[in-house]
Amino acid sequence: RKEVEQDPGPFNVPEGATVAFNCTYSNSASQSFFWYRQDCRKEPKLLMSVYSSGNEDGRFTAQLNRASQYISLLIRDSKLSDSATYLCVVGAGQGGADGLTFGKGTHLIIQP
């Protein structure tokens, strides 16, 4: 199974700041991309899908760069409640037929 790599952090960021994470993937045939969020002792929850043209959901913006094989997540005006582990997820194989591969996550701590 091909890898998905993320900086584990932790990223310590003051409340209200903007923070960005990158994630690289090794399988050039990957077709689907997501960011998940996991709170301590909870299940992963879908934050947003990542589309080729980039997409935005409120304070969150995701970008995909197929040429360099990385995806990014930008969080603006960060809130205390944004503290969590952010998982980069890539659909392996053509059309994601081999299922999803999860990165090990980036730990974000928003400080008051």
The SS3 call for residue 17 is coil
With respect to other proteins, which residue has the nearer C-beta, 18 or 49? Answer: 49
Rounded to a whole number of angstroms, the minimum distance from the CB of residue 66 to other proteins is 16
Q: Is the dihedral of CA 34, 55, 6, 108 positive or negative?
A: negative
Backbone phi, then psi, for 81, in 5-degree steps?
A: -70, -5
Rounded to a whole number of angstroms, the minimum distance from the CB of residue 25 to other proteins is 14
**Binding region for other proteins (CB under 8 A):** 1, 31-32, 34, 42-46, 49, 85, 87, 91-93, 95-102, 104-105
- Tell me the sheet residues that pair with 13: 110
With respect to other proteins, which residue has the nearer C-beta, 22 or 32? Answer: 32
